[in-house]
């Protein structure tokens, strides 16, 4: 009887909060052409992403509320392509957007996603169109012309900024096409006054899909640069690495899908950087710092290369324990979309613990922008996770741990993620890793992390607090009611690194 009552309650709740009937999209047709200026750069086989928004002051590609994706079959640059937004072959995000229920005017823009070396859409090498407006009524038409190639990233010109770009033999051999490694460097104020001096060096890893142009924001920040050149500022070489990958963020680690990214970083890029800035590799002052995805990467690099790096500062790292991948236990839960109580699994929240997005919506959004119609090569968060941590499929693409339609978890694939589960790596190898990591781990997390990543960090701390031989001295702290990366500060990190370097 008790079971029947529970079932009846759950059923009644599911009916009460059932999704409303889906919006019936109008047959609005969008004609897409390719301008003469970019025709020679057009690559067949890309994906059309149509961005729609209501803000007339921003390009839709930068402020959209609704995205559509389709792979145009046999389309070439001499032809036009007509997209009907109501066509069943077109995938959509945010189908419940309020503006779709009216006939108000919206603004449209296309990105043609063709860069095979970068999984994202709004990045160099892809082509974007003009903007047109259209009313959402049956029979309406818009015309968009692909005419601008997104240019390469540029690094700010400054006496104290260096750029390093090298061809990676390791990654080029893996991909069988040329691949580069990139970094930008912010030199300390006293650098040119001390030729040949070996300074402490810190590798700063960006958040998800961050690029080596992160130095630009630092140089343009007057407050930071005034501090950087002040007498009391730590004299540290600050390196901004690049996380570009064909399937999204590379996470700077070796993987079946992305190739030997960790090996390329430590054996190709870092040696070249340190040669150019005269760093003494025997000084023991090579450090790491990052937040969010960068927080996971710098902790992962410290663990996977415990002798190579001499300390890491990790803020709000992505899940470091896959039994707590957000709120999901990938090894035991059946679904990533619904929790064990039958409710939609939250993917994000406010600092007041209000859910603001579900795992189901997040995966569906990535399905739309990926050329496979699944998140496998979306270039975004879950596409990146999946490519880095999972095995390669028989088709040469990343296998999917989470079913893109149903959310069912493939536990055989989840098992293969274990080698990137940082808590499990430490548990299995503590007798070897423990002594090498003493004095090298510093982690901060907000206990209202917007992506629930603090949960995994909590369980990592529980494990480390119980370690013996040696007992871990990792410094892990939490701030109540603080959100994702809320306390990240370049200044604070550099001051902590300087203090540690001075004791070496």
Q: What percent of the chain has pLDDT over 90?
A: 88
User: How many helices (H) and strands (E) are present in the chain, helices listed first?
Assistant: 14, 21
pLDDT mean over 228-243: 97
| pLDDT for position 359 | 97
State the pLDDT confidence band at 22, using cuts at 50, 70 and 90. Answer: low
| pLDDT for position 98 | 74
pLDDT at 192 over 60: yes
Peptide bond into 470 cis (omega under 30): yes
Whether residue 279 is found in the same domain as residue 210: yes
| 426: Cβ contacts below 8 Å, ≥ 6 apart | 303, 433, 434, 460, 463, 464
Whether residue 303 is found in the same domain as residue 413: no
Q: In terms of Cα–Cα distance, which of 67, 62, 63 is closest to 48?
A: 67
Whether residue 415 is found in the same domain as residue 426: no
| pLDDT for position 101 | 74
Residue 310 lies in a domain: yes
Question: Exposed, middle or buried, 175 (CB in 10 Å: 0-12/13-18/19+)?
Answer: middle
| pLDDT for position 180 | 97
| pLDDT for position 94 | 74
Whether residue 301 is found in the same domain as residue 341: no
State the pLDDT confidence band at 102, using cuts at 50, 70 and 90. Answer: confident
Which of 20-34, 102-116, 376-390 ranks highest by mean pLDDT? 376-390
Residue 21 lies in a domain: no
Among the ranges given (21-30, 166-175, 300-309, 328-337), the one the predictor scored with the smallest mean pLDDT: 21-30
Residue 72 lies in a domain: yes
State the pLDDT confidence band at 136, using cuts at 50, 70 and 90. Answer: confident
Domain end, chosen from 363, 392, 419, is at 419
Start-end of H helices in 60-185: 60-63, 169-175
Whether residue 115 is found in the same domain as residue 188: no
Q: Is the pTM of this model over 0.85?
A: yes
| 477: Cβ contacts below 8 Å, ≥ 6 apart | 443, 444, 445
Phi-psi region of 258 (alpha: psi -120 to 50; beta: other; left: phi over 0): alpha
Residue 69 lies in a domain: yes
Residue 484 lies in a domain: yes
Q: How far apart are CA 118 and CA 43, in angstroms?
A: 14
pLDDT at 7 over 50: no
Q: How far apart are CA 203 and CA 194, in angstroms?
A: 21
Start-end of H helices in 277-410: 293-304, 359-369, 381-389
Number of domains in the chain: 3
Q: How far apart are CA 329 and CA 346, in angstroms?
A: 13
Whether residue 311 is found in the same domain as residue 329: no
Q: How far apart are CA 362 and CA 93, in angstroms?
A: 9
Whether residue 310 is found in the same domain as residue 183: yes
Whether residue 168 is found in the same domain as residue 284: yes
* Token pair of 298 as six digits: 């710098």
CA 403 vs CA 322, 358, 364, 387, 448: distances in Å: 17, 15, 11, 14, 28
| pLDDT for position 14 | 40
pLDDT at 10 over 50: no
| pLDDT for position 65 | 87
pLDDT mean over 443-466: 98
pLDDT at 480 over 50: yes
Strand (E) or helix (H) holding 462: helix 453-465
More confident residue, 425 or 8: 425
Q: What percent of the chain has pLDDT over 70?
A: 95
Whether residue 54 is found in the same domain as residue 75: yes
* CATH of residue 471: 3.40.50.1820
What is the domain extent for residue 402?
323-419
Whether residue 222 is found in the same domain as residue 99: no
pLDDT at 364 over 70: yes
Work out the mean pLDDT of the chain and round it to a whole number. 93
Whether residue 307 is found in the same domain as residue 165: yes
Fill in the DSSP letter of residue 304.
Answer: H
Please, are residues 361 and 368 in contact by the beta-carbon 8 Å criterion? no
Domain end, chosen from 149, 169, 184, is at 149
* CATH of residue 38: 2.60.40
pLDDT mean over 462-468: 98
Whether residue 396 is found in the same domain as residue 441: no
The DSSP bridge pattern shows strands 127-129 and 105-113 to be: antiparallel
- Give bridge partners of residue 144 from the DSSP assignment: 32
Please, are residues 384 and 245 in contact by the beta-carbon 8 Å criterion? yes
Domain end, chosen from 419, 434, 450, is at 419
* Token pair of 118 as six digits: 């970068």
Residue 139 lies in a domain: yes
* Token pair of 199 as six digits: 């300074």
């Amino acid at each position: 009887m008790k079971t029947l009552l529970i079932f009846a309650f759950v059923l009644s709740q599911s009916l009460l909060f059932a999704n409303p009937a889906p919006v019936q999209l109008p047959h609005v047709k969008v004609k897409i052409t390719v301008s003469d200026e970019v025709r020679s750069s057009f690559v067949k086989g890309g994906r059309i992403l149509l961005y729609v928004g209501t803000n007339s002051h921003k390009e839709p590609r930068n402020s959209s509320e609704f995205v559509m994706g389709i792979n145009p079959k046999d389309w070439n640059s001499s032809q036009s392509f007509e997209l009907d937004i109501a066509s069943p072959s077109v995938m959509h995000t945010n189908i419940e957007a309020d503006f779709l229920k009216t006939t108000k005017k919206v603004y449209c823009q296309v990105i043609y996603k063709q860069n095979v070396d970068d999984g994202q859409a709004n990045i160099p090498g892809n082509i974007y169109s003009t903007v047109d407006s259209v009313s959402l009524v049956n029979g309406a038409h818009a015309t968009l012309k692909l005419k601008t190639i997104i240019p390469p990233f540029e690094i700010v010109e400054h006496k104290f900024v260096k750029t390093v770009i090298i061809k990676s033999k390791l990654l080029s051999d893996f991909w069988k096409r040329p691949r580069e490694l990139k970094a930008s460097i912010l030199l300390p104020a006293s650098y040119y006054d001390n030729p040949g001096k070996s300074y402490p060096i810190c590798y700063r890893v960006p958040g998800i899909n961050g690029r080596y142009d992160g130095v630009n924001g630092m140089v343009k920040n007057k407050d930071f640069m005034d501090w950087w050149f002040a007498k009391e500022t730590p004299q540290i070489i600050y390196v901004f690495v690049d996380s570009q990958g064909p399937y999204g963020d590379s996470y700077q680690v070796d993987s079946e899908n992305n190739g030997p990214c960790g090996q390329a970083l430590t054996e190709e890029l870092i040696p070249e950087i340190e040669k150019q800035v005269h760093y003494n590799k025997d000084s023991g002052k090579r450090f790491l710092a990052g937040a969010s995805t960068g927080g996971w990467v710098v902790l992962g690099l410290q663990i996977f290369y415990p002798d190579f790096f001499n300390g890491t500062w990790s803020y709000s790292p992505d899940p470091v324990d896959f039994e707590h991948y957000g709120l999901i236990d990938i090894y035991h839960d059946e679904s990533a979309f619904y929790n064990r109580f039958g409710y939609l699994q939250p993917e994000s929240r406010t600092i007041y613990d209000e859910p603001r997005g579900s795992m189901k919506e997040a995966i569906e959004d990535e399905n739309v922008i990926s050329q496979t119609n699944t998140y496998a090569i979306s270039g975004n968060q879950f596409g990146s996770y999946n490519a880095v941590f999972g095995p390669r499929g028989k088709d040469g693409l990343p296998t999917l741990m989470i079913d893109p339609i149903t959310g069912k978890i493939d536990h055989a694939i989840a098992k293969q993620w274990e080698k990137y589960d940082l808590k499990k790596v430490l548990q299995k190898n503590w007798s070897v890793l423990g002594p090498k990591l003493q004095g090298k781990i510093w982690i901060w997390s907000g206990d209202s992390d917007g992506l629930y990543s603090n949960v995994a960090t909590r369980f990592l701390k529980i494990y480390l607090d119980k370690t013996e031989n040696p007992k871990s001295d990792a410094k892990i702290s939490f701030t109540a009611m603080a959100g994702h990366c809320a306390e990240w500060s370049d200044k604070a990190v550099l001051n902590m690194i300087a203090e540690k370097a001075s004791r070496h």
